[in-house]
Structure 1
């Protein structure tokens, strides 16, 4: 019996439209996010001679990550013949910008659209740029949606759709540098709020949508490319990975990636953290803190940042502050206090500012740096814990019907 598809279903119709619009380009493999070895294999696959591969890899690496080009035609020291061969099978293009918002404080939020890759239809994620005096921080997403359902986090209300690939993680950085004029021969938008000197994107934080350590391999690959000295060349001390506490992967992060670590802590008792950060039921506080004590390279110069969202009447008493200091005793640490950023339907309120300051003063007097994070981009829902997209995964029956239609040739460009 032939399969049929309900074109009145908006999700399925959108998927068909997106596939049709993508045309043959949807089949091209991205070079962004490939290791040098993989780039070499890609070159061999299109007929580049073995003795030329190393040189060509270096040329591609330079164009992608030093010059920031997004079109093979701009790779001027590569022959036209090779550029055409590359363009036929591969792509170096940026993701589609579905929306861009600029906060009154200069924070920028991009809604980026990526191919389905198993989700049934194109997916969207949010990326945020936060300009500050002397630095610009890019908050990068690692997943579409999230599995962790932290009760105070807007992203946690969106079910996991899929992991982002290394290319999609890295493309967020490349696109931001494009838009901000942070590559050679690129212009900064007129009136943009950016650091007065140096790089426009000087720091990146894996604190966007998703749990980075549940997408470890792709995050690792992207961050190692971002920190490669012959390309994007971001210092590992300017890259921070934030986790809600996937304990086994914390050890791997230190050993295999070597970036700065941040822990979404938010509570000092297991009963409360079980509610706020449900992964605590699997990896309780004692195991989490031990993993932090064992983090490779931990020192006063490479402290762990503990993130603590201030929730009125929930976790903001001086007793909580005392227990927090006791819990972290002996761990080189900084404690970021985050005023709760409200979102539609949230059940929590932000602690009073005077209350937050008393909490911070207590921790500072105990010997820990305890800055209060200034809320940024609240007016465009770009602040910590506010990121979310509308992406959902098609049901299996819908995906199968869509695939059947494509096989039958009805969706070809």
Structure 2
């Protein structure tokens, strides 16, 4: 298809543009489309039926027309269908629609198979991993609650939470919980609550319903929005047997809205009883400890007296033993010294001149103190020292006596 050459000076008329758009759309040919019926108009006696087909994962819809026999009687608003249609551009109004030649309602088995395939895909990406789960705050400042308008789910969550914790604060987001706009409204409410710094936990609650009614809570867009949220999310959808994909990605999956109300806040009465019990146990522990210490203190003086007395006795015995060992040691040393001294005296006496004199020897000296060593030295007056003392002597010349 040739491109239109236009300018401000040579524009093309609207009809030309509309015709070219119609021609381009007609080239798309016949296609199969998957969607959810958001609005259905059945007019008796009118050969053409009109319905609005909505994308389950986005806020996008398109008008569909079909002959009366093409639309099954079992199809109603909210039904999931696949249809074979040809795009049709209405020139006079410039609108796009689909002209369906075959419409098939998606059966429950096929729908569940699609949900299981989506569940496996998201699980493989790690969106349901246990290590991604965040713990709920013990005492949330504000609880964000996404639920239907004036529904039983809102009442179950709020009343059960305030029964456990009177004065629990809620920020409510009442949105459509089923139908064409449910996913978009829930996601937008979730994002608003996630941006609120006062909201510590978010609860998405809805009562029971059919599989089709609960489809918005298995929607991929919603599941990914919950996974991307920074605030912990509690899923409370349907009854205990209902398991939408929201339960797998949420940080906590409550079995019912009532269960969610019990899990998001502590039980004040129970916590008060626990504190009272702990306080009582602490008192009993302290009293037991004080009584035991008092008993110990009561017997302490006697134990100290016995301990000090016993220690003094032991110290006295040790001192007596030390004194005895010291005396024995000193006696031994003194006796050894006395023996050594006697031996020294004997040696000195044996070496002294007095001992020589006592054996009969004498020391002869002249008056000047010179010891007489030879007969020639014995001249004049002499002094003779013997063992008993000294006496004077005179040297006599033996040669004179012998000549007479």
Normalised by the length of structure 2, the TM-score is 0.25
- Per residue, is there more strand in 1 or in 2? 2
Q: Which has the higher helix share?
A: 2
User: Highest Rg: 1 or 2?
Assistant: 2
